[in-house]
Amino acid sequence: MDRKKANNEMRSLRDKSLSLRTEDGRYVSTE
């Protein structure tokens, strides 16, 4: 896989996990 594409995928996964943060501040597991 292209390194730049891999970085973009990692970033989008991280952003997605941040958006799934619960209201009390805990992170929802996305694994």
Matching residue, tokens 């943060």: 21
Q: What's the pLDDT at 12?
A: 82
Residue 28 or 5, more confident: 5
- What is the maximum alpha-carbon separation in the chain? 37
Q: What is the pLDDT of residues 2-17, one digit of tens each?
A: 899 988 888 887 777 6
Predicted TM-score (pTM) of this structure: 0.40
- Provide mean pLDDT across the span 15-26: 64
CB contact set of 13 (below 8 Å; sequence gap of 6+) = 30
Look up the domain containing 1 and give its range. 1-31
Both tokens of 25, joined, read: 């501040």
Structural domain count of the chain: 1
